[in-house]
Amino acid sequence: MNANQKQKAESRFQLLRKRLVVALEILESDIKFADTEWQKDKSSQFWGRMIIRCCCAWVEGAISLLKQFALEIANYSGAELTEKDFETLTEYRTDKNGIKKPAFLPFPENIKGTFKVFKKACKMQPATKYDDSRFIDLCDTFELRNKLMHPKKHQDLEVSKKALDTADRAVNWFAENFREIIK
C-alpha cells in the first residue's frame, strides 16, 4: 500500500469510526433511559425487559456495524478475506449450485467471528479473550432476550435483579472489547 492509499484508508477508517460511534451512542442512550426509569421503580418488569432488549440491541447494532465496517475497510487495508470471512460478515453462504442462502452463526460464534474478521480486515492481532465469565454472561443475556421475544410461558417474561446484573457485566465486557478494537 503506497502513502496515498494509506492516507485514503486512514481517512475512510476515521469516517466509518465516527458513524459507528454516533449510531452506538443512540443505542446506548436507550439503555440509559430504560435504566433511569427502572431505577424509579425496581419492581417494574416492563423496564427490566426494556433494559435487556436495549442491551441486546446495542450489542447487535455494534456487531452489524462492525461487519459493514470490516467489509469496507478490507478494501483499503489490502487484507485478504476468505470465503468463510465473507460468510461471517455478510451472513450469506453460496451453496454448491451457486445460490446465495442466509447463513446465521449461533450468537457466541457470531461475536467471535465478527471480532476476528474485523481485526483481520484492520490488520490487527486477534487478542480477545472469551474465557472471561462476562462473555458467558453476554451469551446468557441473549438467551434471556430470546425468551422475552419468543416466550413459551408467562415466566419467560420475568426479569430478575440477578439477570439485570448479569446483563450489566455482559455489556461491560462487550464494551471493553469493542472499544479496544475500534480505537
d(Cα 88, Cα 166) in Å, to the nearest integer?
A: 27
Return phi, psi of residue 92, to 5°. -130, 145
Domain that holds residue 115: 3-182
Whether the per-residue pLDDT at 12 is higher than 90: the answer is no
The lowest-confidence range among 20-29, 72-81, 93-102, 106-115 is 72-81
DSSP conformation class of 148: H
The more confident residue out of 91 and 7 is 91
Q: What mean pLDDT comes out for the span 96-121?
A: 94
Give the global pTM: 0.89
Which of 50, 55, 37, 20 has its CA nearest to residue 169? Answer: 55
Whether the per-residue pLDDT at 56 is higher than 80: the answer is yes
The lowest-confidence range among 10-14, 53-57, 71-75 is 10-14
Q: What mean pLDDT comes out for the span 55-75?
A: 92
The contacts of residue 13 (CB under 8 Å, 6+ apart) are 73, 76, 122
- Quickly state the pLDDT bin for 49 (edges 50, 70, 90): very high
Per-residue pLDDT tens over the stretch 70-96: 998 888 778 899 999 999 999 999 989
Please tell me the predicted confidence (pLDDT) of residue 172: 93
- Quickly state the pLDDT bin for 1 (edges 50, 70, 90): low
Whether the per-residue pLDDT at 126 is higher than 80: the answer is no
Count up the domains in the chain and report the number: 1
SS3 170: helix
Whether the per-residue pLDDT at 5 is higher than 80: the answer is no
